[in-house]
């Protein structure tokens, strides 16, 4: 389809979009820390190799093998996309109101950056521990 120009006229650069995404993440970080870090940050009380392999929020951008679809994946597990929330595992649906809105804003900013090609290409099928940093 045709790309929708970002608000404010003129094409936002990928750098601008990544900056907006990072700013939105900074706003949402307390929510991630509160609800997600217990299982999805290194050193979290319930973090395991398996939970971290799926999603690792220890640093930003996040790691884990959902990184290529991070925005929609997090929207889905929290029910932002209209589905039944399945996270946090111990209390699905507990992220609500203003906190959920902050995550939704981050996901939208992530999506805008992704749509513009601002994120590095990731092989979504990686299930092993190879360092994918190819700089």
Q: Is 126 helix (H, G, I), strand (E, B) or coil?
A: coil
Q: What is the pLDDT of residues 68-112, one digit of tens each?
A: 999 999 999 999 999 999 999 999 999 999 999 999 999 999 999
**Average pLDDT, stretch 125-134?**
53
Q: What is the pLDDT of residues 18-37, one digit of tens each?
A: 999 999 999 999 999 999 99
Element (H, E) at 27: helix 14-35
Which two three-digit tokens encode residue 112? 């805008």
Q: CA-based diameter of the chain, in Å?
A: 46
* The pLDDT value given to residue 62: 96
Question: What backbone torsions phi and psi does residue 56 show, to the nearest 5 degrees?
Answer: -125, 110
* The pLDDT value given to residue 57: 98
Q: Which pTM does this prediction carry?
A: 0.82
**C-alpha distances out from residue 28 to 3, 24, 135, Å:** 27, 6, 28
Domain residue limits, the chain: 14-115
* The pLDDT value given to residue 8: 52
* The pLDDT value given to residue 126: 52
Residues 103, 132: Cα–Cα separation, whole Å: 27
Are 68 and 124 within 8 A, CB to CB? Answer: yes
């Amino acid at each position: 389809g045709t790309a929708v120009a970002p608000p404010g006229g003129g094409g936002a650069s990928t750098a601008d979009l990544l900056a907006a995404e990072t700013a939105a993440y900074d706003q949402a970080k307390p929510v991630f820390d509160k609800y997600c870090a217990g299982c999805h940050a290194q050193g979290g009380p319930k973090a395991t190799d398996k939970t971290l392999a799926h999603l690792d929020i220890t640093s930003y951008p996040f790691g884990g093998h959902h990184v290529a679809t991070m925005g929609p994946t997090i929207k889905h597990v929290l029910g932002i996309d209209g589905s039944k929330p399945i996270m946090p595992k111990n209390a699905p649906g507990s992220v609500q109101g203003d906190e959920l809105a902050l995550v939704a804003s981050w996901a939208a900013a992530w999506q805008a950056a992704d749509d513009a090609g601002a994120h590095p290409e990731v092989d979504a099928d990686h299930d092993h521990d190879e360092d994918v940093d190819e700089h």
